[in-house]
Amino acid sequence: ELSLIEFFRQVLDEARDDRNPLLERLRFLIIFSSIVDEFFMVRVSGLKEEVEHGWEQPSLDGLTAAEQLAEIRTRLQPLALEQMRCLKEDVLPALAREGIVIAPYESLTKAERYQADEYFGREVFPVLTPLAVDPAHPFPYISGLSLNFGIMVRSTAAEATPTRFIRLKVPPSLPGLVQVGDTTRYTFLSEVIACNLGSLFHGMSVEHAHMFRVTRDADIDIREEEAGDLLSALQRELRKRRFGSPVKLEVAADMPEEMLLYLMESIGVEPDDVYILDGPLNILDLGVLCDLDRPDLKHTPLRTVRPKRLAQGKSVFDAIRHGDVLLHHPYTDYSTVTNFVRAAANDKNVLAIKICLYRTGQQSEIAEILRQAGEQGKQVTALIELKARLSAQAFTLFTGSSG
């Protein structure tokens, strides 16, 4: 676990290195957040379980689970602060100089605010669901990695009425950045929502609102010798994973202590599980910027090659009939592999396809080709890693629909 944190430091160093193109530096900041999330969901959650069960046996490095958790916090906290500093003081200002601007809502022009507010009324307002907490409505479940507002409101009907806590989830179905104008100028969706909260609470005044984010245990624990149907067991674990125990609470730096303590008690986290961030809580929202058509702000794409015999237009089977073909990735274009699997799926003389897949995504081209091959009557056997942590859901979708 501690060696992984040193890897995280190397990723962050790439983001800080001004020799890297700007959008690549931003990409490294996003990768840092993503791998830290996974680290808490899998590694930290496992250590916390050991502590909860009273397991005090030291690991190979001589540290108990409790000592490892303390050291993880000591090492990670300054990295999280440096990530935010790099983003706010270095990368975002440099992007702004290149015409890619993340503007605070308050700094928008009148026309830009009108555009953002119109987007809020048309696309955002209909999918917002404020959940109040009172004696008849307990504190709601906070889904893992979701971005949320903690809002304190007060009725305007009478004086001296107590404030009420309301949780508002930022819709994950909407882009985290809202484009304003016809250029590459954006503002955070969360800021647009924050500045339009009054439209959600008629007859009430919004006292204050602050962002928070919860990370939950996403580890999968399946005893294979006891699971008659491993795939079904995995699917059950995936459903349970949605309700995993909280392992980290991230809050905005401007959150009052009273609200923080209330969230800690309601969610069920300890002080050492809390990380206070002076910046956006969901940096992954900035990923859309990495897809902009700005080659001057990215690494020059790697020029891949195709093996000479395959580049001559012959069928792949004719080519390999005359000898082996060596593929060296990433220098060899990976479409060579995809085309080979596709050729096998479409060839009437191919009776079976056997393949090993470790990780795949929701839009895997090879998985789709294998499905088509199965529909054409070919025997398709895919050896896959069903327990590959956070990729498990994609695997079950693939295997479940393939039969």
**How far, CA to CA in Å, does 90 sit from each of 9, 26, 189?**
17, 10, 22
Gap between the Cα atoms of 174 and 25, Å rounded? 25
Mean pLDDT across the chain:
89
SS3 string of 44-103? HHHHHHHHHCCCCCCCCCCCCHHHHHHHHHHHHHHHHHHHHHHHHHHHHHHHHHCCCEEC
Domain limits, the chain: 2-217+232-297, 308-402
Residue 220 has pLDDT above 70, yes or no: no
246 residue type, one letter: P
Residue 307 has pLDDT above 60, yes or no: yes
pLDDT in tens, 238-265: 555 566 899 999 999 999 999 999 999 9
Q: Tell me the two tokens of residue 375.
A: 């529909």
**How far, CA to CA in Å, does 189 sit from each of 33, 182, 208, 384, 387?**
19, 17, 18, 38, 34
Cα angle, residue 218 at apex, residues 212 and 221 outer, rounded to 5°: 160
Cβ neighbours, 10 Å, residue 58: 11
Residue 194 has pLDDT above 70, yes or no: yes
Cα angle, residue 123 at apex, residues 117 and 128 outer, rounded to 5°: 95
Residue 226 has pLDDT above 50, yes or no: no
Give the torsion through C-alpha atoms of 395, 399, 400, 403, to 10 deg: 180
Task: Tell me the Ramachandran region of residue 160: left when phi exceeds 0, alpha when psi lies from -120 to 50, beta otherwise.
Answer: left
pLDDT in tens, 254-296: 999 999 999 999 999 999 999 999 999 989 999 999 999 999 9
Gap between the Cα atoms of 63 and 290, Å rounded? 40
Gap between the Cα atoms of 143 and 246, Å rounded? 9
Return the CATH architecture of domain 2-217+232-297: 2-Layer Sandwich (3.30)
Quick one: DSSP state of residue 313? S
Alpha helices for 157-245 (secondary structure H): 189-194, 230-241
286 residue type, one letter: L
> Nearest-CA neighbor of 83 among 156, 32, 147, 7?
32
Region 151-171: mean pLDDT is: 90
pLDDT in tens, 355-395: 998 777 667 899 999 999 999 999 999 987 765 555 544 44
Residue 309 pLDDT:
86
Prior bond of 330 cis (ω within 30°): yes
Task: Identify the CATH homologous superfamily for domain 308-402.
Answer: Endonuclease Chain A (3.30.870.10)
Extended strands (E) in 256-306: 274-277
Residue 173: strand, helix, or coil: coil
Q: How confident is the model at residue 176 (pLDDT cuts 50, 70, 90)?
A: very high
Cβ neighbours, 10 Å, residue 243: 11
Region 159-179: mean pLDDT is: 93
* Tokens 């005359």, residue located: 322
Gap between the Cα atoms of 193 and 105, Å rounded? 10
Q: Tell me the two tokens of residue 337.
A: 């592999």
Percent of the chain with pLDDT over 90: 72
Half-sphere exposure of 145 (CA within 13 A, CB side): 17
Residue 86 has pLDDT above 80, yes or no: yes
> Nearest-CA neighbor of 336 among 311, 373, 302, 362?
311
- Nearby residues of 313 by Cβ (< 8 Å), 6 or more positions away: none
| Contact yes or no for 258/210 (Cβ under 8 A) | no
Gap between the Cα atoms of 399 and 387, Å rounded? 13
Region 51-69: mean pLDDT is: 89
Q: Tell me the two tokens of residue 332.
A: 């060899």
Cβ neighbours, 10 Å, residue 285: 20
Q: Tell me the two tokens of residue 179.
A: 């484009």
**How far, CA to CA in Å, does 144 sit from each of 53, 175, 192, 282, 288?**
23, 18, 22, 12, 21
> Nearest-CA neighbor of 72 among 8, 2, 13?
2
| Contact yes or no for 286/26 (Cβ under 8 A) | yes
Gap between the Cα atoms of 205 and 232, Å rounded? 49
